[in-house]
Amino acid sequence: MSKFSVDKMGENLLRKFAGHTSRRSLLSKLGMTLVAAPVFPLLPVSRAEAAKPDRSPEAKTAFARNAQTKDDTKCSYWRYCAIDGSLCSCCGGAVNACPAGSEPSPVSWVGTCINPDDGKAYLIAYRDCCGKPSCGQCGCDNTDRETQLYVPMQNNNVIWCFGTSSMEYHCSTAVLVGAAE
Amino acid sequence: MRVPPRLFSGSLLRMALLASVVSMAGGAVSAVAQEAAKVLEAEEATTLKIEPPQAQWGYIRGGFGSGGTRIFDGVTGKMKGLVETSKSSDMAIDPAGKFYYVSESIWTKGDRGTRQDMVSVYDTTDMKLLAEITMPGRLIIGGRKQNFIISDDGKTGFVYNFDPASSVNVIDLVKRKFVTDIDLPGCASLMPNPGVGFSALCSDGSIATVAVNGSKSSVTRSASFFAASVDPIFDNYTYDQSKAEAVMVSYTGLVYQVKVSATPTVSAPWSLQVAAGLRPGDTKPLDVNWFPGGTQPMALNRKTGLLYVLMHIGEFWSQKQAGTEVWEIDVAAKKVLGRHPLEKPAVNIEVTQSAEPLLFLSEDEGGNARVIDAKTWESKHEIKRAGGGIINTFFPR
């Protein structure tokens, strides 16, 4: 697995976004947002890269101390440290795939979660699946490093169904983007 | 042939009796009909009106994915009516009490088709739709008080937009027209700025102030005063129109007072926990303490200057956890006057600005609400299926 690169992530996200929408003005506005507000969404990554992280139990959040890697239909699954919504893995989808008939959002909010098996931090993209009514199964609301709307890519209340044909929220996936350290 | 007298007489008797019964029955039916006509009159279906916004009312939104804002009278606990707020919309009340404004997004084919964003204007007494002010977009989220705000004079609306770049729609509420869309990268959570325009919290820890003059605008930023990703300030802060002051609380429990002007000033933050005689909240794991939490974790009484905050025991990053206590805080004195345990944990709190202040709380489960007397702390009403969402009260001017 390659080391996480902010630039690459931004490029990939924008490429995918451009491929899914004709709203070009949005791209320029998003680009401007990223340029003008460099503090997001890079902060958790920047902090993670700034120093060798302490992975002792004393340094872990309550979620990280209790996280597991076996069952991705449980809220305690390690990738779900900042997820809010129905787990797609309980809705006919998977941890990284939307259920049939729903559409993944090309953009997402992000979390930095620790895998308890290797003790490493990974960047997780929480991609909403859109276009169907709310799945309603396995509702989770985890809040590690979750902030408010002025840091939107770290806020888990926003319905991230931008650039999709419908903005109806169905469920949330947790796609592993890369190592954050 | 002679008819046997008995038969004749019997037949006559039967006929007479029958006639008599029919006559009596007819009379009885007539009497019943008359009585019925007197009591059960035919009705016309009508529609009632409702009083304009009252200080003792609480406006309780439905939870995520549900529409409607139920209005409850905090004194009686009775439902008064419902504002037609669609799913994930935002509601604001005209300061003069004449209109309910709903910032909303609807589609031509239910959940698909052409998206339409608008501010819908409702009369507050007959609750009829008066106008739809079309605008280019808005953030679909719900549960935020600061995404749709109205200037203190009631003439201008500001709608936060995120698509996914940040901007703010300016709405002329007098002409009922969209004016302009102002780019505001990295900022959200709006507050009115009287005579200037509006201000907002930003990801670099500053306050952006946007001077609005018709379709023209200019943006200035304060110095950074909080760490937006380390100890964020809750979006659902309070704004006091009478003092043009915002009171905000961070995840660790720091209180910030922002004097709103062309160049806003921020007081030195102080700790809720220290004000209660405890150690300050910390971001470190395993440091169990009392923390503020919920969706709408705080409310401010403008007259008394008392702040009410939902608090729970936990570790840092538990910012959405329901409160098990309400802390009553004298903001001017920076002192916690009382800690009031709740019967059931709550996620949203608001206080009426009436002479006898009442607290409205949305409880964590069941969509139930509770009304508490803010002076005696007596539970006045438990309202089942009230909605469970965020709460507005009206601030008479």
pLDDT digits (tens, 9 = 90+) for A124-143: 999 999 999 999 999 999 99
Q: What is the mean pLDDT of residues B188-215?
A: 97
For residues B201-218, average pLDDT: 96
Mean pLDDT on B177-193 = 97
Q: In this predicted structure, which of A46-55, A61-70, B11-20 has the lowest mean pLDDT?
A: B11-20
Give the pLDDT of residue B386: 95
Say if residue B341's pLDDT is above 70.
Answer: yes
What residue type is B127 in one-letter code? Answer: M
* Residue-level pLDDT at B96: 96
Q: Which amino acid is at B215?
A: S
Asked if B183 has any chain A CB less than 8 Å from its own CB, the reply is yes
Q: Looking at residue B167, what is its pLDDT?
A: 98
Q: Indicate whether B16 pLDDT > 80.
A: no
Residue corresponding to tokens 């490029």: A11
* Chain A contact for B347 (CB, 8 A cutoff): no
Contact between residue B310 and residue B246 where contact means Cβ atoms under 8 Å apart? no
Mean pLDDT taken over chain A? 79
Query: What is the structure's pLDDT at B26?
Result: 52
HEC-encoded secondary structure of chain A: CCECCHHHHHHHHHHHHHHHCCCHHHHHHHHHHHHHCCCCCCHHHHHHHHCCCCCCHHHCCHHHHHCECCCCCCCCEHHHCCCEEEEHHHCCCECCECCCCCEECCCCEEEEEECCCCCCEEEEEECEEECCCCCCCCEEECCCCCCCCCCHHHCCCCCCCCCCCCCCEEEECCEEEEECC
Query: pLDDT value at position B13?
Result: 44
The number of C-alpha atoms within 13 Å of B241 and in the hemisphere containing its C-beta is 14
Q: Express each pLDDT in B56-72 by its tens digit.
A: 999 999 988 788 999 99
Question: In what order do the strands lie in the sheet containing B148-150?
Answer: B148-150, B156-162, B166-172, B177-183
> A154 vs B229: CB contact, 8 Å cut-off?
yes
Chain centroid, CA A175 distance in Å: 7
CB contact under 8 A, B166 and A33: yes
Higher pLDDT, A36 or B174: B174
Contacts of B164 in chain A (CB under 8 A): 26, 30, 33, 107, 152, 160, 162
Q: Which of B132, B134, B138, B141 is nearest to B88 (CA)?
A: B141
pLDDT given at position B31? 63
Q: What is the CATH number of domain A6-179?
A: 2.60.30.10
Average of per-residue pLDDT across B115-122: 97
Which chain A positions have a beta carbon within 8 Å of B319's beta carbon?
Answer: 143, 146
pLDDT bracket for residue B3 (50, 70, 90) = very low
In the predicted model, is pLDDT for residue A174 greater than 60?
yes
- Read off the tokens for B396: 């008479």
Of residues B311, B159, B149, B297, the one with CA closest to residue B235: B297
Interface contact B187, partner A, CB < 8 A: yes
Task: Report the percentage of chain B scoring pLDDT > 90.
Answer: 86
**Euclidean distance between CA atoms A82 and A142, whole angstroms:** 5
Mean pLDDT in chain B? 92
Residue B42 has pLDDT above 50, yes or no: yes
A30 has pLDDT over 60:
no
Give residue A49's pLDDT: 45
Q: Which residue has the higher pLDDT, A22 or B79?
A: B79
Give the residue carrying structure tokens 């990801």: B203
pLDDT of residue B39: 86
Q: pLDDT tens-digit profile of B20-39?
A: 444 555 555 566 666 666 78
Answer whether B188 touches A (CB < 8 Å): yes
A52 class by beta-carbon count within 10 Å (0-12 exposed, 13-18 middle, 19+ buried): exposed
Angstrom distance (rounded) from CA B171 to CA B118: 10
Q: Which of A26, A36, A63 sits opposite B163 (nearest CB)?
A: A26
pLDDT at position A56: 78
Query: Contact, B386 vs B367, CB < 8 A?
Result: yes
Per-residue pLDDT at A52 exceeds 90: no
What pLDDT is recorded for position A38? 36
Residues of A in contact with B115 (CB under 8 A): 167
Percent of chain B with pLDDT over 70: 90
Report pLDDT for B208: 98
Question: Any chain A CB within 8 A of the CB of B243?
Answer: no
Residue A37 pLDDT greater than 60, yes or no: no
User: From residue B389, how far is each of A157, B124, B209 by CA, in Å?
Assistant: 14, 21, 29
Is residue A26 over pLDDT 60? no
Catalytic: A109? yes
CB–CB of A58 and B285 under 8 A? yes
- pLDDT bin (cut points 50, 70, 90) of residue A51 is low
The confidence score (pLDDT) of residue B27 equals: 53
Alpha-carbon distances, residue A1 vs A45, A176, A179, B88 (angstroms): 16, 10, 8, 39
Q: Provide the 10 A C-beta neighbour count for residue B43.
A: 6
pLDDT band of B5, cuts 50, 70, 90: very low
* C-beta separation of B182 from B212 below 8 A: yes
When pLDDT is averaged across residues A25-52 and rounded to a whole number, the result is: 42
Beta-carbon neighbour count of residue B242 at 10 Å? 11
Token output for A173: 């996936």
> What are the angstrom distances between the C-alpha of B238 and each of A127, B72, B247, B309?
32, 21, 5, 11
Residue B317's closest CA among A1, A99, A143? A143
Contact B393, B57 (CB under 8 A): yes
- Whether A131 sits inside 8 A of B315 (CB atoms) is no
- Is a pLDDT exceeding 80 seen at residue B276? yes
> What average pLDDT score do residues B291-311 get?
97
* Predicted confidence (pLDDT) per residue in B342-393, tens digit: 999 999 999 999 999 999 999 998 899 999 999 999 999 999 999 999 999 9
Which residue, A140, A85, A147, A62, is CA-closest to A111?
A147
Least confident among A44-53, A168-177, B372-381: A44-53
pLDDT tens per residue, range B213-265: 999 999 999 999 999 999 999 999 999 988 999 999 999 999 999 999 999 99
Nearest-angstrom CA–CA distance, B101 and B105: 13
**Residue A112 main-chain phi, psi, to 5 deg:** -115, 110
B163 and A CB contact within 8 Å = yes
Instruction: Name the region of B381 (left: φ>0; alpha: ψ -120 to 50; beta: rest).
Output: beta
Length of chain B (residues) = 397
**Half-sphere exposure of residue A175: CA atoms within 13 angstroms, side-chain side:** 19
B228/A39 CB distance under 8 A: yes
